[in-house]
Amino acid sequence: MSSKEEKYRELYAQAEGLMKGESDVVACMANLAALVHEAMGFWWTGFYRVVEGELLLGPFQGPVACVHIGYGRGVCGTAWKERRTVVVPDVEQFPGHIACSSLSRSEIVVPVMQGGEVVAVLDIDSRDLNTFDDTDSRWLEQIVALLPAMKP
């Protein structure tokens, strides 16, 4: 049985290989979402990109999700506004949580930074409480840093 740390280490190496030489950010987001989702067994794994002043649904794995999220709204909009990773052990305890799926119980949102600005977020939902911790934050921040630059 491999620990979460070991799984992420392997995942990071695979992500590096997948991103190597690729320049289309949407294609890379699609592969990263699939890689993380499959390897870790999450409920929903995907990206929202900052487009025209809001978060717009991007490549993801899992059930259908809300398309538009405003600045400062929900967990995703909060991670964008506060420019930091947000870990939510119990979504029912997060004021303003946006429930795309009633089965989601805990969540992590990691901002994708470019030139000091948030250009996208990686959002992951789990069907269990307390799924995410510092290990997830640390590795997921490194994994999204592998994404190529988004074109202006």
Cβ at position 79, least distance to ligand SME in Å: 8
Q: Which residue is nearest to ligand SME (CB)?
A: 74
Q: Structure tokens of 75?
A: 């967990």
User: Binding to ligand SME by residue 44, rule CB under 6 A?
Assistant: yes
Residue 97 found at the interface with ligand SME (CB under 6 A): yes
Residue 125 within binding range of ligand SME, rule CB under 6 A: yes
| Site for ligand SME contains 100 (CB under 6 A) | yes
Q: Which of the stretches 7-15, 22-30, 69-77, 134-142 binds ligand SME when contact is defined by CB under 6 A?
A: 69-77
Beta bridge partners of residue 120, listed in sequence order: 49, 112
Q: What angle do CA 107, 113, 114 make, to 5 degrees?
A: 160
User: Three-state SS string across 18-49, please?
Assistant: HHCCCCCHHHHHHHHHHHHHHHHCCCEEEEEE
* Shortest CB 54 distance to ligand SME, Å: 12
Query: If 0-12 CB within 10 Å is exposed, 13-18 middle and 19+ buried, where does residue 14 land?
Result: middle
Choice between 34 and 66, CB closer to ligand SME = 66
29 token code pair: 């987001």
Residues at the contact surface with ligand SME, assessed by CB under 6 A: 44, 65-66, 69, 74-76, 97-98, 100, 104, 107, 123, 125
